[in-house]
């Protein structure tokens, strides 16, 4: 099963919740040309649930999803399924690139298990579960190709979009999301102004956003990303747009 990537066309941070988590307003679009792959395999190297991949899966969010499903009453079914099977994960989406690869893998795993074990969990129930694991997972579970995303990433509203042809570049730079957000927090920001900007952005198509606004206007994390990773400055100065906390960058094909 394919686990598609996503891009943030705009990303405005508009406040903090009572846990001090950042509240955002963003446009997510699905990138079907970039995907990881998950499937069941007969290959086994140890007992119990196992992820087999060239990627280091020791602390993979999929494992957290597995144990969460166990807690919600599906332990016997899962243990029986993975008694003689493993989960094969082929990583194609760059890591630390702002494309949501880990979140997409997790969402795809939930969808896969729901189908294989016929758990009959609705999309909304899966989304409710996913909020205990991570914010971006909800978008991948929604099935939408374009959506305005808010809250901490769990509020998803589909958007009738116009998406131009986009050219992608993947710098060989790992951008740590948590560190980029901490760098963002070092400078004071008027969340009210950001909220008003986001209200304008959420009504515009992706094509209109990329035609009318500059990279730092659309993504609040580009400047802190460059502060932490100076090699990213060349892309900022050459008017590339940034997805998420980086490092994936893009331009509209002319």
The residues assigned a catalytic role are: 6, 136
d(CA 117, CA 78): 8
* Helix H or strand E encompassing 222: helix 222-228
Instruction: Provide the 3-class DSSP secondary structure of residue 1.
Output: coil
- Burial of residue 177 (number of CB atoms within 10 Å: 0-12, 13-18, 19+): middle
The answer to whether 241 and 215 have CB atoms below 8 angstroms apart is: yes
Helical ranges in 89-221 per DSSP H: 101-116, 123-130, 137-142, 177-185, 191-201, 206-212, 215-218
Cα 14 from Cα 199, distance rounded (Å): 11
Alpha helices by DSSP H, listed for 15-116, are 61-69, 75-81, 101-116
The pairing of beta strand 86-90 with beta strand 51-52: parallel
């Amino acid at each position: 099963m394919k686990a598609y990537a996503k891009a943030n066309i705009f990303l405005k941070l508009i406040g903090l919740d009572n846990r001090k988590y950042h509240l955002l307003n963003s446009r997510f679009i699905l990138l079907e040309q970039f995907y990881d792959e998950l499937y069941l395999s007969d290959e086994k190297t140890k007992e119990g649930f196992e992820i087999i991949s060239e990627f280091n899966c020791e602390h993979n969010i999929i494992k957290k999803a597995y144990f969460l499903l166990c807690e919600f009453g599906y332990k016997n079914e899962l243990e029986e399924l993975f008694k003689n099977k493993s989960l094969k994960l082929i990583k194609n989406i760059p890591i630390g690139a702002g494309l949501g690869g880990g979140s997409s893998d997790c969402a795809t795993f939930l969808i896969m298990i729901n189908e294989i074990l016929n758990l009959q969990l609705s999309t909304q129930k899966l989304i409710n579960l996913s909020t205990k694991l991570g914010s971006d997972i909800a978008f991948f579970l929604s099935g939408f190709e374009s959506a305005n995303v808010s809250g901490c990433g769990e509020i998803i509203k589909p958007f009738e979009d116009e998406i131009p042809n986009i050219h992608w570049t993947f710098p060989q730079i790992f951008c740590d999301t948590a560190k980029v957000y901490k760098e963002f927090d070092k400078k004071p920001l008027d969340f009210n102004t950001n909220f008003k900007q986001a209200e304008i952005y959420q009504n515009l198509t992706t094509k209109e956003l990329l035609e009318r606004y500059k990279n730092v206007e659309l993504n609040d994390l580009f400047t802190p990303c460059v502060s932490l990773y100076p090699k990213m400055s060349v892309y900022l100065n050459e008017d590339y747009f940034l997805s998420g906390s980086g490092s994936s960058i893009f331009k509209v094909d002319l």
